[in-house]
């Protein structure tokens, strides 16, 4: 079945970096955009950016420009998000999600498959 | 950037009742690129509606979406116990923005 499986929880100190992975299975990896969304404890959803697994081009939310890097490894059908210069406000659950339709049909799309989430805690 | 405002913040209803959730955009949402998600505690969001009114795969027909331009509505015709959750709207026509959410709680 189509699924996205994310890496486990992380605890980091302020100023450090964290890299979260999201492994796709059950579909052709390069055919669908992958998005990253985060959710601080008790808060709403915040879009961070998207990556095209075919070629690796990225589009980041302005808030995260310069501090977030998304990448992919086509050999393992895995995408990554790395957040640098962590601060306490980055404490959140980080989700990857797949676009609903093939990327050549729609460049903007709703998110139909989600990973289980990865809790990142930033604390000294 | 488009801002989405959801109302009410909390909606208290009983199973069997009808729920109406609102999502208002600060600017017109292009091509009705408006989605609704349901989220339960400890779970990722689940896509319910895309394109303002199309149900996602496997979503029961008691969920329906409507609206265009700046005003959108999610309606749950007869609430089931499993429908009590937080609901988010999202626009995906111009970047990607979520509303702040509506909590649907059991009365």
CB B27 within 8 A of CB B2: yes
pLDDT digits (tens, 9 = 90+) for A65-110: 999 999 999 999 999 999 999 999 999 999 999 999 988 888 889 9
**Inter-chain contact B56–A100, Cβ cutoff 8 Å?**
yes
**Could you give the CA distance from residue A119 to residue A80 in angstroms, rounded to a whole number?**
15
Residue A39: predicted pLDDT: 98
Measured between beta carbons, which residues in chain B are less than 8 angstroms from residue A116?
44
pLDDT digits (tens, 9 = 90+) for B16-40: 999 999 999 999 998 789 999 999 9
Task: Report strand pairing: B63-68 vs B54-55.
Answer: unpaired
Nearest to B77 by CA among B55, B95, B96: B55
Q: To the nearest whole percent, how much of chain B has pLDDT over 70?
A: 100
Option in A47, A50, A95 nearest B97 (CB)? A47
- CA-based angle A61:A67:A73, to the nearest 5? 85
**Could you give the CA distance from residue B72 to residue B97 in angstroms, rounded to a whole number?**
14
Cα A93 → chain centroid:
10
pLDDT digits (tens, 9 = 90+) for B53-77: 999 999 999 999 999 999 999 999 9
């Amino acid at each position: 079945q189509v699924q996205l499986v994310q890496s486990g929880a992380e605890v980091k100190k302020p100023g450090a970096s964290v890299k979260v992975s999201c492994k796709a299975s059950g579909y052709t990896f390069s055919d669908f955009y992958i998005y990253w969304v985060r959710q601080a404890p008790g808060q709403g959803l915040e879009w961070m950016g998207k990556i095209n697994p075919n070629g690796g081009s990225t589009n980041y939310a302005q808030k995260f420009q310069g501090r977030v890097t998304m990448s992919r490894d086509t050999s393992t059908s895995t995408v990554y998000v790395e957040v640098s210069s962590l601060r306490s406000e980055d404490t959140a659950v980080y989700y990857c999600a797949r676009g609903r339709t093939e990327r050549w049909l729609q460049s903007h799309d709703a998110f139909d498959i989600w990973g289980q989430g990865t809790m990142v805690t930033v604390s000294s | 950037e488009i801002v989405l405002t959801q109302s009410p913040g909390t909606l208290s209803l009983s199973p069997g009742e009808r729920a109406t959730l609102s999502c208002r955009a600060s600017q017109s949402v292009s091509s009705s690129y408006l989605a609704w998600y349901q989220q339960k505690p400890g779970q990722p969001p689940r896509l319910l509606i895309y394109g303002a009114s199309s149900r996602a795969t496997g979503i029961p027909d008691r969920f329906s979406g409507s609206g265009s331009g700046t005003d959108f509505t999610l309606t749950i015709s007869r609430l089931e116990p499993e429908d009590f959750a937080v609901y988010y709207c999202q626009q995906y026509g111009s970047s990607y923005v979520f509303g702040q959410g509506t909590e649907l709680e059991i009365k």
